[in-house]
Every structure is written in structure tokens, then in C-alpha cells.
A and B are shown apart, each in its own frame.
Chain A
Amino acid sequence: MSAVVFDNVSFAYEGVPALSAVNLRIDDGDFVSVIGPNGGGKTTLLKLILGLLQPQQGTIRVLERTPAQARSQVGYVPQFFQFDTSFPVRVLDVVLMGRLHRIPFAGRYRADDRKAAESALRDVELAGLASSPFAALSGGQRQRVLIARAMVSEPRLLLLDEPTANIDPAVQNELFRLLDELSRRLTIMMVTHDIGFVSSAIRRVVCVNRTVVVHPTSELTGGAIADLYRSDVRMVRHDHRCAEHGHEVRHG
């Protein structure tokens, strides 16, 4: 079964192409990292999967349904610095927003929503901060809260947009440990700006720059990265595991 399938998908912002003729298949249970230069179309790719953007050409299937139909089973972690830091909201209230699809049009969160939100906060080791203001948290803590908010909707697919941006390396490693653990339960697609942080649990890397090329992590070479970024990039060595899927590379 496939979590995400792109079939010849093209998208342009008012005539400026962002993605052209993209073919992509992410298997259920996969843990992939999406990398590529700024403006290469990484965020566009995520927004297409979420159904926030409609492709001008081609079809997208998410969890074997249309993106809009699949939404309730997709968790999304946006970049945290897009938030207004003076907004008065507590950590638990932010996590509860992951349960919005369960409350009726004229209704409030219920006791079981609160229980689920508290348990999600425990999972990201922030149970003690439930009633702290969201704005008072550090960058790494906010990112964990947003992951808890995504997980509280019990998703089958988790999308993260640069979860490690502006977070110091020690905290990044903690975050990856959390994601490694989550990847045993669900499919994860993570946009990372910095290829150095491709975690050892990641099985495949989706390289996005107008087109999309998928590499198993074992295949990722300096040449492929340099092609993508069109400049020399310092490689960071990982202890790669071999991808069990073998090659599913479509060179554009």
C-alpha cells in the first residue's frame, strides 16, 4: 500500500513553475526526508499532499484517497516561527487543536479530547508544561508541542516542515530520537533544509528541485547532492542502513 502517490504532477504559482512532471511513491511505513534548495518546491510538495494547493496537472493520492478526503488522517507540523509570539494561548490549548475535527460545529472540546492531549504531551515529554504559555517555550519545546498536536489526531501519515530549523544540535538529536520512535507506528515525511541532519532511521531521501528524484539513503552520494544544490556541499557521514526497498529511482 502507498501512503503518497504523485502521478505526473505539475504545479505553478501564477505561471511560475514550482514543480513539473513529478512522479513519486511513498510506501506505507516509510520514513523519508525531503531535501532541496530554497525555492526548490519542498513546501509546495507538502501543501499539495495536504490539499492546500491543487495541481494544475496530474493526480495525487494520499492514503489511497484524494488529499482533501485523507486530511483527517494526516498530521502536519508547520514551521514554528510563523506563530505570533504574543498570542495568549497555553500549551494544552495548542495540542487540543489537533482534535478540532472531532468537535461539532457548535461545540467544545470534551474530556476525552483533553485526556488525549495530555497523553500526547506525555509522549513528547512535556507533561509538566501543559498550562504554560506557548510563547514562553524554547524552540525545541515548541516543536515538540506541534508534534504532539499532530499526533493527537491519530494520523497515519505525518508531515513535518523543517522541524530542526533554528534549533540547536543537542535538541535536534532529541527530536530525531522522538521521530525514530514515531516512525515505527506511522509514515513520516520530513522536509529538512540541512542535509547534515538526515537521521539514521531515514530510509529514503526525496530530492526536490523543480523535479523530484528519490534515493535510498545508501545510495546518496556527494555527486547527487552537488547536482541538487548546484554547488559543493559538505557531506556529513552517517551510519546508513541499507534501504530494504532497493532502488526506486526515477531520474528526471
Chain B
Amino acid sequence: MVEFFHAVAHHGFLQYALLAGLLSSIACGIAGTYVVTRRISYIAGGISHCVLAGMGAARYCETVHGWTWFSPLYGATASALAAALIIGMVSLKAKQREDTVIGALWAIGMAVGVLFIARTPGYNEDLMAYLFGNILMVSGNDLLLILALDVLIVAAGAIWYDQFQAVCFDEEYARLRGVPVELFYLLLLGLVALTVVLLVTVVGIVLVIAMLTLPAAIAGHFARTLRGMMALATLLCALFTVLGLSLSYAPNLPAGATIIVVAGMAYLATAGLCAPGIRAWFAARFRGK
């Protein structure tokens, strides 16, 4: 771990990685809080897996057709927003079979991505990077896109804080008070989609859902307001990212997977400590002494 912090001072790519992780933590805290409180982690999972279609298509166009401006992250942004819109419409209109449709889109998105990548000449290590993240490959351009998305997410979260809170807490009441709840639901999914794009660079498509849920779920045990939950989730997300990155560096482990294992263990520990039985046991012990 010490070795990692020495290396950060000398290697630009590590500084980029650290910056990407910290910047995406902000979006992660905001969107993750909504995913957890509105209980839409399955929808978030669907959106994140559809991102592979966009990344694969962009990579294909980049290499085969020479569209050098069309980097996989742009493809990811486009496909995440499209998936959010489609899944959002499905969940608003087709109440009965919502999970089936999301499951189908989830699989189709993955399959389309795999087909594009198979048709792209060259090494196939891209696929592994998309699926499990490769934070050490973040470029200056990627960092700019991450920063722009972060600004968008923070602005949306600040402007519509009251409306999002109402829609997540009591959608029916918000509708009765004249709030366009369907529109805000789609905006919320858009926010989640952009966050998915940020997190894909850090931990990859498959592991995104853990970053969207674990820090916010831990924060939920302690927070009294949505705002507080977002701030705490952001801090936790940053902590897990830095910890995971530094732990993975010396033994040359995959950074994304290490970050998720750290987050998962923290979640299990908190869930255990906050379980009613264990809380009571602690309370009894401390009273005894």
C-alpha cells in the first residue's frame, strides 16, 4: 500500500486513475442513494449491461471505419441513455412483466456488444477491460468526459433535489401535487445511466451495480436525510476506490475486483453490526460493564 502512494507521485497514469476514481465517487454517492432508496437496482443493472452494446459498437467503428473521435466512452454514454429511456418507458407502461423485459434487454445489450467486439480486428483484451474495468488505462480525454458528466449529475441532483426526494418517498402524493412524476422518474434513470458510464471506467460493466448499491446501503444505516446519505456514500465510495487501488497495486491484482471486494466486506460488516440481535448484544455487554 505504501508502495502505491510512492508510485502515484511518479506515474501519471496512477494519478489519472486516482482522479477518475475520486471524481466518479461523487456521482456514485448521488445516484447510488437514489438507486437504493427508490429500489431500482435491477433497473440499474439492466442499464449497465446494455452499455456493452455501445462500447462494442464504438470500438468497432473506431477500428474498422476509422471514426477515431468515437471512443468507447461516448458509445457507452449513448447506449446508457438509450437503455435508461427504453427501460424507463417499459417500467412505467408495462407494470406486470417489467422484470422479464428488463432481463431481456440486459441480455440483448450484452450479446450485441460481444458480437461487435468479435468482429473488431485486433486483440480481444478490450472485452475484459469493459466487463471488469481498467482504471489504469484512463486517458486525459476520458478524464475530461468524466468531469463533464460529474458536473451534469451534481447540477441535476441539486436543482431537482426536492422533486426527486418527493418522487422517491411518495410518488402518488407527488403526482397529486402536480409533479410530473413520470418525467422525473426518467430523469432519475438518466442520472443513473450517466453514473454507470463513469463507474464503468473504474470497475467495469459487471461490477457497476455493486458500486451503485454498497456505499449507499452502508450510508443508509446512518444517514437521516437523503443529502446526508449522498455525502456519506460519496466518502465511502472514494475510500473503497483508493483502498482497492492501493491494495491491488503491489500484488498486481485487478483493481476493479479489489475495490468491489473491499466494498462488499465493508457492507457485510456494517449489515452485521447493525442487525437488531447483534446491536442488542452489544448494548447488553456495555451496560454490564
Residues of chain A having any CB pair with chain B under 8 Å:
50, 52, 71-72, 74, 76, 78, 83-84, 86-90, 93-94, 96-101, 103, 105-109, 133, 149, 153
Contact = CB atoms under 8 A, between A and B. Distances in A.
Given A100-B179, A103-B162, A109-B162, A88 B173 contact: no
B175 interface: yes
Interface residues of B, number: 28
The B contact surface, by secondary structure, is: helix
B224 to A, nearest CB: 5
A94 B178 contact: no
B161 interface: yes
A97 B166 CA distance: 6
Contact of A78 (B163, B172, B177, B225): B172
A86 B178 CA distance: 26
27 contacts: A52-B172, A52-B175, A52-B176, A71-B176, A72-B177, A74-B176, A76-B173, A83-B169, A83-B170, A84-B37, A84-B169, A87-B37, A87-B169, A88-B220, A88-B223, A88-B225, A93-B225, A98-B177, A99-B177, A101-B177, A101-B178, A101-B179, A103-B162, A106-B160, A107-B159, A109-B162, A133-B224
Contacts of B170: 78, 83, 97
A106 B159 contact: yes
Contacts of A88: 37, 220, 223-226, 228-229
A71 B177 CA distance: 7
Counting from the closest, the 5 A-B pairs by CB-CB distance are A100-B177, A101-B178, A101-B177, A88-B223, A97-B166
B161 A108 contact: yes
B165 A93 contact: yes
Interface in B59-92: none
Contacts of B224: 88, 90, 133
A104 to B, nearest CB: 10
A76 B172 CA distance: 10
Interface string B243-266: 000000000000000000000000
Interface in B134-191: 159-163, 165-166, 168-170, 172-180
Nearest to B180: A105
A101 B37 CA distance: 23
A98 B166 CA distance: 10
Which of A52, A100, A106, A133 counts the most B-chain CB atoms under 10 A from its CB? A100
A108 B162 contact: yes
Contacts of A153: 177
A107 B179 CA distance: 12
A89 B177 contact: no
Contacts of B229: 88
B222 to A, nearest CB: 9
A51 to B, nearest CB: 8
Given A76-B176, A88-B223, A97 B169 contact: yes
Given A50-B176, A88-B220, A101-B177, A96 B162 contact: yes
